[in-house]
Amino acid sequence: MIRPERIALLARTFYFLRHGETENNRLQLIAGSTDVELNDAGRAQARAAVDLVRPLGIAHVVSSDLRRARETAAVIAQALALPHAVVPGLAERNWGVLEGKPRHLRTRGVTPPGAETADQYFLRTRAALAAIAAPGTPLVIAHSGTFRVLCRLLALEAAAEPVANCRPVRFTPPAREGEGWMLELL
């Protein structure tokens, strides 16, 4: 098991950005591991996010391999002339038979047929986060599920609230022993 203190990403300030909007988001359908693209609003959000992250001192961009995250990351990395690495393990949770279905059909704590369990998803995502090792301040572009795993790893309560599409989030490590991580929506 990889402990949070052994994950290089979690030893420094880093930024997270959920991908731009998709039609599944707009229609409140579960996309999960389905490889959906950004819609026009999502592409505009990705372009607007460039100005939001430009002053943050980002050194490199890391994204999920799902198209919606890769597209968002490509727009930002290209505009800021930053390297972009794809980490497949950052992909959203596979929801099995619920993929493409309305979000309200999900039941907390219940794994639908054909889906990853919450623990499987957590372990996969934690391993993917541990693979992010490049120096400098990273921007991780992934999914709402990735955000929830980060919050769980860092003992942050914000995971109950979904993070908005293309809204940067700063994760700051504790300033002193015994203090907790800070999360700031930018």
- 99 catalytic? Reply is no
The larger pLDDT score, comparing residue 157 to residue 110, is at 110
Q: Which residue out of 19, 71, 99, 143 is catalytically annotated?
A: 19
- 116 catalytic? Reply is no
Tokens, residue 148 = 């929830």
The larger pLDDT score, comparing residue 109 to residue 4, is at 109
CATH number of domain containing 100: 3.40.50.1240
Name 116's Cβ contacts closer than 8 Å, sequence gap at least 6. Answer: 93, 94, 95, 96, 124
Q: What is the pLDDT of residue 6?
A: 76
Its domain, for residue 67, covers 4-185
Q: What is the total count of domains within the chain?
A: 1
Backbone Cα Rg of the chain: 16
Whether the model clears a pTM of 0.75, i.e. scores above it, the answer is: yes
Tokens, residue 55 = 């002053």
Rounded Cα gap, residues 57 and 92, in angstroms: 26
Q: What is the pLDDT of residue 18?
A: 98
Tens digit of pLDDT for each residue in 28-40?
999 999 999 999 9
Other C-beta atoms closer than 10 Å to the C-beta of 104 total: 8
Q: Which residue out of 92, 99, 116, 143 is catalytically annotated?
A: 92
The rounded percent of the chain whose pLDDT value lies above 70 is: 95
Q: What is the pLDDT of residue 2?
A: 57
In the structure, what pLDDT confidence band is assigned to residue 5 with cuts at 50, 70 and 90? low
Tens digit of pLDDT for each residue in 54-69?
999 999 999 999 999 9
Name 114's Cβ contacts closer than 8 Å, sequence gap at least 6. Answer: 94, 96, 97
Tokens, residue 116 = 């990853």
**Among 119, 117, 114, 90, CA closest to 101:** 114
